[in-house]
């Protein structure tokens, strides 16, 4: 069974799970949900029995996170992160862990791509199909080029962990996800 609903024009779908939102400006970036995840990050820590892990580093601003996860068959059984980072990176990490837990690797990779596209302005969460749900609160970073990498770092790190790359860095123009595609 698909984990997301296919796009249809039915009233039910248009009402949820992806309500159409206007693109946010930078003023709305520090929303309650982001501040909450920054203050009380979910899935904080390190898994003792991780099957995959990776380290993510943003040398530009010093964001530094460690991600560990345990695959249960094809699904992300458990996942945890820790590190030192800005609020955007920490909240993005926290919300990522709650969102990918229980999803298949393929579904997680799809979310990674969609999140990246949203943050870089290639996916308009207001008008295009996506599975990001509440993660669309991060759409505002597209207006803040210097903060895009903060939001994307945990997703790049997840991609690296799933592909058994030990360390990724957002330094330079190399985009690990882009390279992969």
Partner 1 sequence: MTSSSSVLQAVRPSGALDVESIRADFPILKLKVNGKPLAYLDNAASSQMPQQVIDRLVRYQTAEHANIHRGVHYLSETATAAYEGARGKIQRFINAREAREIIYTRGTTDSINLVMHGYGRAFIGVGDEIIVSQLEHHSNIVPWQMLCEEKGAKLRVIPCNDAGELLLEDYRKLFNSHTRLVAITHVSNALGTINPVKTMIATAHEQGVPVLVDGAQAIPHMKVDVQDLDCDFYAFSAHKMCGPTGIGILYGKAALLEKMKPFEGGGDMILSVTFDKTTYNVIPHKFEAGTPPIAAAIGLGATIDYLESVGMDRIAAHEHDLTVYATEAFRQLKDVRIVGTARDKAGVLSFTVKGVHPHDVGTILNEEGVAVRTGHHCAQPVMQRFGIPATARASFYLYNTMPEVDALVAAIHKVQKIFG
Interface stretch with partner 1, choices 10-18, 102-110, 143-151, 154-162 (CB under 8 A):
143-151
Half-sphere exposure of 73 (CA within 13 A, CB side): 4
Least Å distance between CB 3 and partner 1? Answer: 33
Least Å distance between CB 162 and partner 1? Answer: 27
- For residue 135, CA distances in Å to 61, 71, 108, 170 come to 22, 22, 13, 21
Within 26-55, which residues bind partner 1 (CB under 8 A)? Answer: 26-27, 29-30, 35, 38
**How far, in Å, CA of 148 to CA of 115, rounded?**
11
Q: Is 2 in the site for partner 1 (CB under 8 A)?
A: no
Least Å distance between CB 27 and partner 1? Answer: 6
Of 23, 33, 71, 86, the residue at the interface with partner 1 (CB under 8 A) is 86
Phi, psi of 138 (to 5 degrees): -85, 0
**How far, in Å, CA of 47 to CA of 33, rounded?**
25
Of 44, 87, 104, 120, the residue at the interface with partner 1 (CB under 8 A) is 87
């Amino acid at each position: 069974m698909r984990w997301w609903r296919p796009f249809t024009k039915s009233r039910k779908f248009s009402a949820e799970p992806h309500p159409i939102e206007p693109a946010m400006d930078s003023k709305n970036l520090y929303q309650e949900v982001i501040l909450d995840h920054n203050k009380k990050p979910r899935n904080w820590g390190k898994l003792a029995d991780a099957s995959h892990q990776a380290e993510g580093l943003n040398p530009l601003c010093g964001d530094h996170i460690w991600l560990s996860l345990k695959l249960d068959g094809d699904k992300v059984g458990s996942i945890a992160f820790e590190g030192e980072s800005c609020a955007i990176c920490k909240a993005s990490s926290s919300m990522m862990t709650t969102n990918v837990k229980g999803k298949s690797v393929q579904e997680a990779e799809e979310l990674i791509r969609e999140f990246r596209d949203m943050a870089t302005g290639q996916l308009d969460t207001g008008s295009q199909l996506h599975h990001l749900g509440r993660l669309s609160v991060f759409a505002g970073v597209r207006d803040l080029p210097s903060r895009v990498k903060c939001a994307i770092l945990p997703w790049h790190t997840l991609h690296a962990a799933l592909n058994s790359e030990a360390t990724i860095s957002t330094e330079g123009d190399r985009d690990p996800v882009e390279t992969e595609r």
